[in-house]
Amino acid sequence: MPERIPVVEKILSANDRLALENQARFEVARVFAINIMASPGAGKTSLIEQTVRGLAGRLRVGMINGDIATSYDADRAQAAGATAVQINTGGACHLDAGMVRSALGQLNLADLDLVIVENVGNLVCPADFKLGTHQSLLVASIPEGDDKPYKYPGMYRGVDAVVINKIDLLPYVPFRMDFFKQGIEVLNPGVVQFELSCRTGEGLPAWLDWLERQVQTFKTA
Amino acid sequence: MLYNKGLLTQKAAAVMHELAVTESILEIALRHAREKNARRITGLYLVIGQWASIVDDSVQFYWDMISEGTIAQGASLHFRRVPVELACLDCGQNYQPSSEELVCPHCAGTRVQVRSGDELRLEAIDIE
Ligand SMILES: Nc1nc2c(ncn2[C@@H]2O[C@H](COP(=O)(O)OP(=O)(O)OP(=O)(O)O)[C@@H](O)[C@H]2O)c(=O)[nH]1
Ligand SMILES: [Mg+2]
Ligand SMILES: [Zn+2]
């Protein structure tokens, strides 16, 4: 006769535990870490390049990149001046805490102030897998359309900031900014937002200042 | 050619997600069964919110594959789906959002609290 026993465990609790270990490593090294999530092509790597260049001389930046098959993105970040590590995701659609842990073995945290993790381009599941970063950022972009918060609520809910990239394309693509922002407001009230273009540089200073402030606040805490 | 390759990668990527989830389910179930010195696991009760991006069929597919050879082989998966329910902080009413509209249908309020819909847990197992 089978017996029913209660379990009541979060299915991803093993990942959550590993994420806490990663976070502890960042804490010990006094390195601020941020997880960047977005759909493919939204401009994650472009934003990282601009950020590394924009903060050159102010912050030492490391980058962890999860790409399904190539190291193009890590190479771009490296060329921009970051110390970059490429993680082999083995075809996975998201990074998990274990992958970040192995990448941390290849980064000398003592030489860094900020680690930016570029997650796999995907709006479905990366948000479910905590990595141990202090904050997470969602990069949306104008050509993706203004309905994304409604279609992928899980991604917009947990993030600490939203970057709306490619605003240089607003004149050419239909995009109802009000509608888009209303979706964000419901899912994540009061979340910090930046409208910018990695192409023209418009709006970048506000993002850079905010990020630098997060790092400084963390370091002096 | 290229187009097909893209599709394939996309599909592989989509199922990988459920593989990670299914592996965690198996790990948790085996651990709890061991604690009770169970000989077999015959059923698992999963609670999954609509906002947790999980496809039941994919979990089942991976389950059949990875549970093989363990004491959980052949166990049936019972899925309980929890709909998304939001509570409007402006007018106090609860509602289920549609796919196009998230704001409160009663007062158009945008200050909401998620009451349910993002569950992702294993609630119980049947053991022998
Ligand atoms: N017009 C315009 N194009 C941009 C902007 N930012 C990035 N792009 C272009 O968008 C394309 C994708 O940019 P990436 O930075 O590689 O995007 P990603 O999110 O890292 O892409 P994956 O890692 O492949 O998912 C490139 O062709 C960029 O040049 C922008 O602000 N405006
Ligand atoms: Mg990239
Ligand atoms: Zn209301």
CATH number at residue A60: 3.40.50.300
Q: What range defines the domain where residue A96 resides? A: 4-219
Query: Does the interface ipTM go beyond 0.90?
Result: no
| Domain locations in chain B as residue ranges | 5-82+117-127
Helices (H), chain B: 2-35, 56-66
Sequence-ordered list of residues with C-beta below 8 angstroms from that of B12, at least 6 positions apart, any chain: A91
Q: Write the single-letter amino acid at A62.
A: G
From first to last of the 221 residues of chain A, give the pLDDT tens digit. 789 999 989 999 989 999 999 999 999 999 999 999 999 999 999 999 999 999 999 999 999 998 777 789 999 999 999 999 998 777 778 899 999 999 999 999 999 999 999 999 999 888 889 999 999 999 999 999 999 999 899 899 989 999 999 999 999 999 999 999 999 999 999 999 999 999 999 999 999 999 999 999 999 98
Q: How many structural domains does chain A have?
A: 1
Cβ A37 vs Cβ A139: under 8 Å: yes
Q: What's the predicted TM-score (pTM) here? A: 0.88
Q: Look up residue A200 and give its two tokens.
A: 């023209």
**CATH code of the region B5-82+117-127:** 3.30.2320.50
In angstroms, the CA B121 to CA A10 distance is: 4
In angstroms, the CA A125 to CA A138 distance is: 13
Sheet of B94-95: strand order equals B94-95, B85-88, B112-116
The residues on B that touch A, with CB distances below 8 Å, are 9, 12-14, 16-17, 20-21, 24-25, 27-29, 32, 36, 42-43, 46, 51-53, 84, 99-103, 110-112, 114, 118, 120-128
Cβ A189 vs Cβ B111: under 8 Å: yes
